[in-house]
Structure 1
Amino acid sequence: MRDGRSIVYVAKAVSPRPFASSVNVGTRLPAHATVLGRVLLEDLSLAELRALYPEAQLEVFSDSTPRTADALFAIVQRDRERGYVLQEGFFESSISTIAAPVRDRTGKVVAALGATIPAAHIDPEQLDAMVEKVRNTAGELSRLLDYRPSLHSAGKVVNLYRE
């Protein structure tokens, strides 16, 4: 979940395969520099993003970190259109992440669900299935929060009674 300029991990599930991760429940990371953070920033307008990040240059954590609020806005808008984020080595070079938004009944992004892979590159043969699992699971969480995709189109309520 997002808390201001940070993301906070509120739940974590670990695979039976060994994978050393320093991220635990309660860990805080910079939203602008993480895949989950990008998902959590999707609903912000450019003005809101500039207010959240008023400095001219954002703190850099990797070669992939956006340098300005405008660059971050462009990235999160592409992510929003795609419906998920897949990034290899975005925050840490040896870790790849797939993430999707969890929305509430208003259509607002209230959480992000992600799968972290302990590799700089994801096996292309497994990619589609992994993205589908993340998106489906985020969709199921959204449904539990009473989100109805048929009521929303790009964040706008749609008339379901068109003839």
Structure 2
Amino acid sequence: MVKESDGFVRSIARGFAVVEALGLPPGRHTLSEVAHVAELSRATARRMLTTLVALKYCEADGRYFSLRPRALGLGLSYLNALPYWGYAQRALEGLRNEIGESCALAVLDETEIVYALRLPARRILSANLGVGSRLPAHLVSLGRVLLAALPAEPRAHYLATAELKKVTPRTVIDADALAEQLQLTDEQGYAWVDGELDPAICGIAVPVRDHAGKVVAAISINTISGTIDEAAAKAKFLVALRRTAQDIRTQTSPAG
């Protein structure tokens, strides 16, 4: 938990820690489990849970606590605040229907990407990823695009401090090699990642910019590894992918 300062409200931090604990599988937890995950005393966790029950963000069933539908509004508040999110859903649906492959939109949260949209195609088995799912940024094309868009100092800090876990034999875990990949991504305006998260999946991604040109998200097309290489993916998908990113960008303008 973040250390306290003059502007830090401990009770709010504890409340969110409890909400996050309740959101973990299997979705219902005892007081002791919540206290352990949230790193709180049982007495403090009990007060937080009592408050959340009173506010109808969670419910008690015997010794178990679980989130109520009202808690969904916390996440939707972020999505609804994105000026492009509503339009992006329609844009990605159109892209998926056009190319017949899985499509996604994600944002960067420190060292991870967070899916804001994900539309799987039937031909690819879903990896249980949906809105709100997180992945280490270095493993996927969406993350490479978002990391490449970081200013020099934050990018260097990421490369120096991030834990680059190897998930498959193809996963890039050398910081210098990843730095070269990010530089290439920045120069060519897209990222291609093949089999670094899942040996069976490859993907190509491009940035989504706001009206000022700042990268605010990334969108990707993912398909089955081995059925296509980077050159073919670029020829087949890149024009449609960039067109969709530009369409979404128009929705971030002051007039949009």
Q: CA separation of 1:57/1:20 partners in 2, compared to 1, >3 Å: closer, same or farther?
A: closer
Give the Cα–Cα distance (whole angstroms) in 2 for the partners of residues 76 and 88 of structure 1: 15
Give the Cα–Cα distance (whole angstroms) in 1 for the partners of residues 184 and 149 of structure 2: 12
The residue type paired with residue 249 of structure 2 is S
1:60-98: CA deviation from partner (whole Å, max 9, x where unpaired): 223232421x43232112112111122322321110101
Give the Cα–Cα distance (whole angstroms) in 2 for the partners of residues 125 and 39 of structure 1: 19
- Larger RCO: Structure 1 or Structure 2 (Cα < 8 Å, ≥ 6 residues apart)? 1
CA contact (8 A) 2:148 2:155 kept: no
The residue type paired with residue 78 of structure 1 is L
Residue of structure 1 equivalent to 2:225: 119
1:40-70: CA deviation from partner (whole Å, max 9, x where unpaired): 11222343123234338632223232421x4
Q: CA separation of 1:45/1:21 partners in 2, compared to 1, >3 Å: closer, same or farther?
A: same
CA contact (8 A) 1:35 1:90 kept: no
Give the Cα–Cα distance (whole angstroms) in 2 for the partners of residues 13 and 139 of structure 1: 19
Give the Cα–Cα distance (whole angstroms) in 2 for the partners of residues 73 and 132 of structure 1: 26
The residue type paired with residue 174 of structure 2 is R
CA contact (8 A) 1:42 1:109 kept: no
CA contact (8 A) 1:65 1:91 kept: no
The residue type paired with residue 136 of structure 2 is P
Contiguous gaps of at least 5 residues in structure 1 = 148-163
Task: Give the TM-score, by structure 1 length.
Answer: 0.76
Residue of structure 1 equivalent to 2:182: 76
Contiguous gaps of at least 5 residues in structure 2 = 1-106
Are positions 1:19 and 2:124 aligned together?
A: yes
Query: Aligned to 1:88, which of 183, 194, 216?
Result: 194
Q: CA separation of 1:120/1:48 partners in 2, compared to 1, >3 Å: closer, same or farther?
A: same
Q: CA separation of 1:105/1:117 partners in 2, compared to 1, >3 Å: closer, same or farther?
A: same
Following superposition, the deviation at residue 127 of structure 1 comes to 4.9
Q: Supply the RMSD in Å over aligned alpha carbons.
A: 2.4
Q: CA separation of 1:125/1:109 partners in 2, compared to 1, >3 Å: closer, same or farther?
A: closer
Q: How many residue pairs get matched?
A: 145
CA contact (8 A) 2:120 2:126 kept: no
Task: Give the TM-score, by structure 2 length.
Answer: 0.51
Give the Cα–Cα distance (whole angstroms) in 1 for the partners of residues 141 and 161 of structure 2: 21
Higher mean alpha-carbon deviation, 51-60 vs 130-139, is at: 51-60
Instruction: Specify which structure has the higher proportion of helix.
Output: 2
Give the Cα–Cα distance (whole angstroms) in 1 for the partners of residues 162 and 126 of structure 2: 32
Q: CA separation of 1:20/1:57 partners in 2, compared to 1, >3 Å: closer, same or farther?
A: closer
Query: Aligned to 2:203, which of 97, 114, 129?
Result: 97
Give the Cα–Cα distance (whole angstroms) in 2 for the partners of residues 102 and 141 of structure 1: 7
The residue type paired with residue 107 of structure 1 is G
CA contact (8 A) 2:118 2:131 kept: yes
CA contact (8 A) 2:140 2:193 kept: no
Q: CA separation of 1:80/1:95 partners in 2, compared to 1, >3 Å: closer, same or farther?
A: same
Please state whether the residue corresponding to 1:9 is helix, strand or coil.
strand
Residue of structure 2 equivalent to 1:154: none
Identity %: 33
